[in-house]
Structure 1
């Protein structure tokens, strides 16, 4: 699995870049936001490597949060890499979190390839993943959340408590959250 690529920009188009590294040239699909931010001849991208029976594709991201957004979107039913990349091209990650939080179907319909039914389905499915108001959480927060859920606490309660916790590691977050939940 290719999780990143670093090299010389050989060719740049609005939706892809060719990156030369180690004697090979890779075609990496990028969002319009990432493409417009690429100004150097030498870049490093976070990548999602998709292998299908008809080929292999690399999708590249300058911003790790944009990659997380893309990875989350392609897991939704009816959303493939092209639609996910169109969403990434239309919204920056923090803007998209706001669209989901507000359940703004009209803004989501502005994405090419998304109609009213698709927009509604995407918002419903993303609500189940609970993106919330904030940017994607750290792995420690996600691990703490799973640990607390396995102990039987409700997701809403866990989110409220974890938002007030100051620890940086998983164990510290779980201990701090448990102490605060005892007081509730």
Structure 2
């Protein structure tokens, strides 16, 4: 079982990424929540992993937070929930936010996941309630705070990706561009500002 991978992010086309570990490239499927957290191409990443083995394929799933992997493992044990649906759930919710929906019996929230209908949501809530009864959620932010935080992370990711692409187009190496962008980025920076500051850093 592959439990943990650390290496250089060399390709990022969500939901699939490629991580180079000592010259070996691992194709890993990740949820969008992890995509926002791992940074840009060229960055060093560490992912908690789960390997799904089937007769016709082997798929490796990766998560930035270990609790996301733990929840993924719980989800794929539920009736009618495969890896694809579990990944969709963790792309829609932070793990703690999903647990809140389960505790609150929030069918409407679960139905917001692509591919999950009302009957599936109701069955999932029933199955997950006992499994998640000991999951601690007291320290979590409110759903609105979480939404704002995720939106800001998404915007930052777009700006950083655009700036890195521009630097690479100017002739800088991906790893060099990634390091400069991540070093100088500050909240609410525009792409142009980030490029200018990154050039000074390089």
**TM-score of the superposed pair, with normalisation by structure 2:** 0.64
Counterpart of 1:75 in structure 2 is: 77
SS in 2 for 1:134: coil
Cα 1:133–1:68 shift into 2, 3 Å: closer
By relative contact order (CA 8 Å, sep 6+), the higher-ranking structure is: 2
Residue 12 (structure 1) aligned with residue 12 (structure 2): yes
* Root-mean-square deviation (Å): 1.2
Counterpart of 1:3 in structure 2 is: 3
Counterpart CA distance in 2 for 1:47 and 1:130 is 20
Counterpart of 2:143 in structure 1 is: none
Q: Is the 8 A contact 1:30 1:85 kept in 2?
A: yes
Deviation at 1:89, TM superposition (A): 0.5
SS in 2 for 1:112: coil
Q: Which runs of 5+ in 2 are unaligned?
A: 138-202
Cα 1:5–1:133 shift into 2, 3 Å: closer
SS in 1 for 2:130: helix
Report matched runs for 1:42-61 at 5 Å.
Answer: 42-61=44-63
Partner of residue 110 from structure 1, selected from 106, 109, 112? 112
Counterpart of 2:129 in structure 1 is: 127
Counterpart CA distance in 2 for 1:127 and 1:97 is 9
Q: Which runs of 5+ in 1 are unaligned?
A: 136-184
Deviation at 1:87, TM superposition (A): 0.4
Counterpart CA distance in 2 for 1:93 and 1:11 is 25
Deviation at 1:14, TM superposition (A): 2.0
Counterpart of 1:34 in structure 2 is: 34
**TM-score of the superposed pair, with normalisation by structure 1:** 0.70
* Alignment length (residue pairs): 135
